[in-house]
Structure 1
Amino acid sequence: MIIAQAGRLQYEAIIFLASLRASAPGWTGRVIVAEPRAEGAWAGHDTVIADGCRDLIIGFGAQIVSFTATHFGASYPQGNKIEALQVLPTGEPFIFFDTDTLVTGPLDQVAFDTRRPSASMRREGTWPLPPLYGPGYAAIWKSLYDRFGLEFDGTLDLTQPDEHWERFLYFNAGWFFGADPAEFGRRFLEWALALRDDPNDELACQAMDPWLDQIVLPLVIHSLGGGRPGPELDGLDGGITNHYRKLPLLYAQFDHHAIDVLEDAVAPKPVKRVLRDWEPARKLVYQQKGRTKVQPIFADRSQPVKEKVIRNQLKSRGWWLI
């Protein structure tokens, strides 16, 4: 499942599907594109996928299924991934991808063990940010596990030092999977609402927006018997999928193979006819500014650079097209 609605997400959905069909021709699973209705928590907003995008999405073999967001919506768009799980078939294994994902390899050959749910480890130490006089990482995270009656010590990565953020189970919500979307979604929604509406004392100094989904996700995964992804999932956020977040970041951060996959997948005329209406695709892909202007800025970097630094450089040079 991915999410799509009017605006950027409908174009990213086309890129996801085009790259899936190009890179994983053996994929036979259903692809559901969840579309929030312009009601409930999205009332007053245009959420309906445009006709041209809708035709392409369906043409790629995906099924568009509408849902009503009642708790998050426009006030917290990341909540779509929580509430949209309701549209998936109960009791059937699922994998969710953020729409801003490029498929660059045989996704159908990844050895998912849906009995042991997991999620993306392509993250930085964005949450929590412990205050100077405490509580620290351990106290903050343990308070959440205690609140929902979960065992805590088994989640720790003991190869990491005390009070280092990587010691604690923390995911990016760019992809996650499980055995039953109904139960996964029930816990995800219930616990997210609990923390949003009644944060415990240890969260008093912590920002919940935009991190709420990533705060709750490890709790849900651990409660269902899952944990950090094993080596069989290394291709996700690697050679099989790339969570690029924004199109300029794909050209700034990823290798030539990913860029070639992107440009080849969206080259067919029916796709180009629709995607060129979206400024980032028109300028970066079809006018080749991604290769000639964005990629050279970062070509000589020998060390990893924080995403915030890359974003700032793109903004300062006028290439932050989203």
Structure 2
Amino acid sequence: MARNRAPNSSFNIVIIGQNNRLQYEAVLFAASLRHTSPDFQGRLFVATPQPGPKWRNDPSIRNADVLKALKQLDAEVLPFENRVFGEAFPYGNKIEALAALPEGEPFVFFDTDTLITGDLASVPFDFDRPSASLRCEGTWPNPTLYGPGHDGIWKALYDRFGLDFESSLDLSQPEGYWRRYLYFNAGYFYYRCPRVFGQRYLDYAKTIRWEDIPELAGQSLDPWLDQVALPLVIHSFGGGRDALPSGLLDGSISCHYRLFPLLYARESDHVIDVLETVAAPNKFKKVLKNYEPMKKLIFQNKGEKVRALFDQDNLPRKEQAIRNRIKSAGLWLR
């Protein structure tokens, strides 16, 4: 059962920004935070990878209009170096960026393709007990015909890091079913210290990726590596799946939309209202229009055409069916 703790806003937020769609998503994230969470007192960092040997091209944000908009939204651009991952595994940015955050200050990481849709300061985070997004599917592992199964794969990882496997299980779920095992989407996570969390996250990810763990033979780690390591890190710090009340993050307070066509297809009217409200001021609109999906879906009203393709209360069960319908209508923009 989740602990009761008074809501507070004495924590930092970090998202990733770089010289691609993420820079525009970062502006939207910041605008939505300021619109819906006026009582948030922490710092908002846009962590930006710097040029170096792990990148063929400069990944940093250099767009002057984007930088101006972020400054107007009181977002701090935070440079960091990729020493391990980089272009070969950009999801590793969320791991390596944590080393650049203020030591000892509680943090919440969000994927940049997220909107804050309610008062984030009201969320009762217990930063001593980390957790992450449960809005996920059983994407990993994918046991082979000759085994091992879910139990054998996950137990091998817990054993590798000296963690208690049995206490991580949800025994209400059947053996072999993915929900029995601690698994998260890395769309958000939090802890009391970013550097402590980040160092362990990096250590675990490197071990899983490059050291010999026989039970992982035949298992793909690209693009799942960050989500394979994350539950192990959270469990190691005493966190778990029940650390937050349900229905807040990935619910009334935040929306991890991932792609704009999917946002218009399946999210609530409230999410659409927040999106269009925070994008409307001219000082932000002129920036966001430079990203084609935002230009067409938000400002040229093609998003409403996507929305009209679906009954949001009766969506297709599989995301691929949603994607296919949008593509058939010529409205798949990303």
TM-score band (shorter)?
over 0.9
Matched, 1:295 2:307: yes
CA contact 2:27–2:69 (8 Å) conserved in 1: yes
CA contact 2:174–2:180 (8 Å) conserved in 1: yes
State the Cα distance separating 1:302 from its structure 2 match. Answer: 2.0
CA shift in 2, pair 1:171/1:199, >3 Å? farther
CA shift in 2, pair 1:26/1:16, >3 Å? same
The equivalent of 1:308 in structure 2 is: 320
The equivalent of 1:258 in structure 2 is: 271
The equivalent of 2:116 in structure 1 is: 103
The equivalent of 1:139 in structure 2 is: 152
TM-score normalised by structure 2 residue count? 0.93
State the Cα distance separating 1:231 from its structure 2 match. Answer: 4.8
The equivalent of 2:40 in structure 1 is: 27
How many angstroms apart in 1 are the aligned matches of 2:47 and 2:77?
6
CA contact 1:252–1:294 (8 Å) conserved in 2: yes
State the Cα distance separating 1:31 from its structure 2 match. Answer: 0.5
Specify the SS of the correspondent of 1:238: helix
CA shift in 2, pair 1:114/1:21, >3 Å? same
Specify the SS of the correspondent of 2:286: helix
Specify the SS of the correspondent of 1:75: coil
CA contact 1:2–1:99 (8 Å) conserved in 2: yes
Unpaired runs of 5+ in structure 1?
A: none
Specify the SS of the correspondent of 1:122: coil
How many angstroms apart in 2 are the aligned matches of 1:308 and 1:201?
33
Matches within 5 A, 1:60-79: 60-79=73-92
The number of equivalent residue pairs is: 321
Matched, 1:285 2:294: no
CA contact 2:28–2:279 (8 Å) conserved in 1: yes
CA shift in 2, pair 1:187/1:304, >3 Å? farther
CA contact 1:119–1:229 (8 Å) conserved in 2: no
CA contact 2:150–2:178 (8 Å) conserved in 1: yes
Which amino acid letter does the alignment assign opposite residue 54 of structure 2?
Answer: A
Query: Structure 1 vs Structure 2: percent identity of aligned residues?
Result: 52
CA shift in 2, pair 1:32/1:230, >3 Å? same
Q: Which moved more, 1:211-220 or 1:196-205?
A: 196-205
CA shift in 2, pair 1:3/1:231, >3 Å? closer
Cα deviation code 1:110-137 (max 9, x no counterpart): 0000000000000011101111221110
CA shift in 2, pair 1:194/1:231, >3 Å? closer
Matched, 1:41 2:54: yes
How many angstroms apart in 1 are the aligned matches of 2:45 and 2:70?
10
CA contact 2:16–2:46 (8 Å) conserved in 1: yes
CA contact 2:131–2:239 (8 Å) conserved in 1: yes
CA contact 1:110–1:235 (8 Å) conserved in 2: yes
CA contact 1:119–1:173 (8 Å) conserved in 2: yes
Specify the SS of the correspondent of 2:87: helix
Which amino acid letter does the alignment assign opposite residue 122 of structure 2?
Answer: Q
State the Cα distance separating 1:102 from its structure 2 match. Answer: 0.6
CA-based RMSD of the aligned residues comes to 1.4
Q: Which moved more, 1:172-181 or 1:125-134?
A: 125-134
CA shift in 2, pair 1:21/1:238, >3 Å? same
CA shift in 2, pair 1:269/1:209, >3 Å? same
Q: Which moved more, 1:303-312 or 1:238-247?
A: 303-312
The equivalent of 1:5 in structure 2 is: 18
Cα deviation code 1:144-166 (max 9, x no counterpart): 00011111000100110110000
How many angstroms apart in 2 are the aligned matches of 1:25 and 1:92?
20
Which amino acid letter does the alignment assign opposite residue 20 of structure 1?
Answer: L
Which amino acid letter does the alignment assign opposite residue 64 of structure 1?
Answer: V
CA contact 1:123–1:171 (8 Å) conserved in 2: yes
State the Cα distance separating 1:232 from its structure 2 match. Answer: 2.6
State the Cα distance separating 1:315 from its structure 2 match. Answer: 3.0
Which amino acid letter does the alignment assign opposite residue 53 of structure 2?
Answer: G
Q: Which moved more, 1:200-209 or 1:47-56?
A: 47-56
Q: Which moved more, 1:169-178 or 1:19-28?
A: 19-28
Cα deviation code 1:225-260 (max 9, x no counterpart): 100144535310001100001111110110111001
TM-score normalised by structure 1 residue count? 0.96
